[in-house]
Structure 1
Amino acid sequence: MVRCWNRSENLVEEAQCTDGAPAAAPRSHFPHKAVWVSLAASLLLLVITLGLTGKLGLSQLHAQSSQIVRISAPDQSSGVLINQSAVVDAQKHLVTFTVTSLANQTSTVLFDIKHGLICYKPVEQSSCFLRKMEQPDFDNVQSFLQDQTHQQSHVQLSWNETQRRTEFLGVLANSQVDPSALDEPLKDLCQDRSVHWTTRSDGPGKQRLVYFCIDICFPSNICVSVCFYYLPE
């Protein structure tokens, strides 16, 4: 093997030559730019995959923790079956009722067991109404939390076995609450409405009128008609 020198104007290049053989090809440079592009694409694909996997896992976990209970109960006056549904989220300690009246108007009642509050969102009003949960309220919602074996179930209450009662709630004067100060479940429910505190009472009296009522039925064969009226200023 003979060492050869090629001289140009500005630089001297060294090449290896053989007798009569062509000069060896110069050593190729490693494509650094292509490697970095490939690594960046792989990393982006990994992040997207992990994000989709995590989102799907959270959705499946939320679906497993939620149970939809459909309740059919006869109306006290007409005997027509009233259909209600309750979404039970055992993980967040929430029971959300969707109540449809005979006039085909739907109201929402949220039992926030963790914070001990009940929030009423009637369809025909522009306000939400709050009340602190009492022991009978905790007992009633426990009938939902005790059975979490089925994701969907249906409960049909009979007329003869159902206990019915009426509760009156007075809306307190000057008791408006800032919705932004509420916890997340209540804030989401009443974000576009005013919020007022209520208190339980024996009745509105003859001088006051009942403005609306919401009927709620529980799987424990108890139906409660909650009626609201406004207390004097």
Structure 2
Amino acid sequence: MVRCWKHSENRLEEAQCTDGGPAASPRFPHKAFWLSLSASLLLVIIALGLTGHFGVSQPPTQSLQIVRITAPDQTGALINQSAVVDRQNDLVTFSVTSPANQTSTVLFDIKHGLICYKPVDQDSCFLRNMETSDYMNVHSLLRDPTHEQSQFQLYGNETQRQTEFVGVLATSQVDVTTLEEPLQALCQDRSVHWTRRAEGPGKQRLVYFCIDICFPSNICVSVCFYYLPE
């Protein structure tokens, strides 16, 4: 005989089960369990959604830095330059302003070992392979970010000056579409020519233009261009 319980008005009474089946077990609170589980899942979904939202909407870590360089020119007058340093893509872009308030651009593409000159008064861009001294000069702008500065003041008695002559290979024009994206964007509306470092133009050749670039390492370089004989 199976023992069962029935609830009377004032007390619990023992009674004999009439169906002969097993005793009914206490009912588990299914409703409360499912409500708790649903609430937990909802909180997890909301948390994941917020994490994904902020992860997508937040801008990437800023890798660009603008560095302003003030240095005296050959006459002692102060000139201002700015360099945009892109550490993520290993790019340093100089904006060089002439005394006539015209700005030329010099792009150091460290990743591909190239320098691209975009003079303001020319309809061409000029490419040159980077050399050891070029890497050393731009290293002062790509050094440890914990020591970075946004302004550099160079003084005439502390600054080393040098002149570099670059010969333009007029017959070796470059298809701009074969260049990497930073160079394409810089020279998309111009012809592009290869150049190479040379000892000097000689008396029979004329220097067409020069671009002065000053680095935070107290080095100023005058890059002077002339066309080589074809």
How would you bin the TM-score normalised by the shorter chain? 0.7 to 0.9
Residue ranges of structure 1 left out of the alignment (5+ in a row):
1-45
Note the C-alpha offset of 1:152.
Answer: 5.9
Deviates more, 1:150-159 or 1:89-98: 150-159
- 2:56 is aligned to 54
- 1:65 is aligned to 63
SS in 2 for 1:111: strand
* Residues 143-198 of structure 1: CA deviation (Å, up to 9, x unaligned): 00114237761000000000000000000131100000000110110000000000
**Aligned-pair Cα RMSD in Å:** 1.7
1:206 maps to 2:206: no
SS in 2 for 1:192: coil
- Equivalent residues of 1:168, 1:226 under 8 A apart: yes
How far apart in 2 are the matches of 1:193 and 1:148?
A: 35
- 1:220 is aligned to 217
Say which of 72, 86, 104 aligns to 2:101.
104
1:131 maps to 2:133: no
* Identity within the alignment, %: 73
Note the C-alpha offset of 1:56.
Answer: 4.6
SS in 2 for 1:102: coil
Aligned length: 180
- Equivalent residues of 1:164, 1:222 under 8 A apart: yes
Report the AA paired with residue 171 of structure 2: N
- 1:91 is aligned to 88
Report the AA paired with residue 175 of structure 1: S
- Equivalent residues of 1:67, 1:150 under 8 A apart: no
- 1:35 is aligned to none
Q: TM-score, normalised by structure 1?
A: 0.73
Report the AA paired with residue 106 of structure 1: T
How far apart in 1 are the matches of 2:99 and 2:146?
A: 31
Residue ranges of structure 2 left out of the alignment (5+ in a row):
1-48
- Equivalent residues of 1:68, 1:151 under 8 A apart: no
Q: TM-score, normalised by structure 2?
A: 0.74
1:116 maps to 2:108: no
Report the AA paired with residue 229 of structure 2: P
- 2:165 is aligned to 168
Note the C-alpha offset of 1:116.
Answer: 0.2
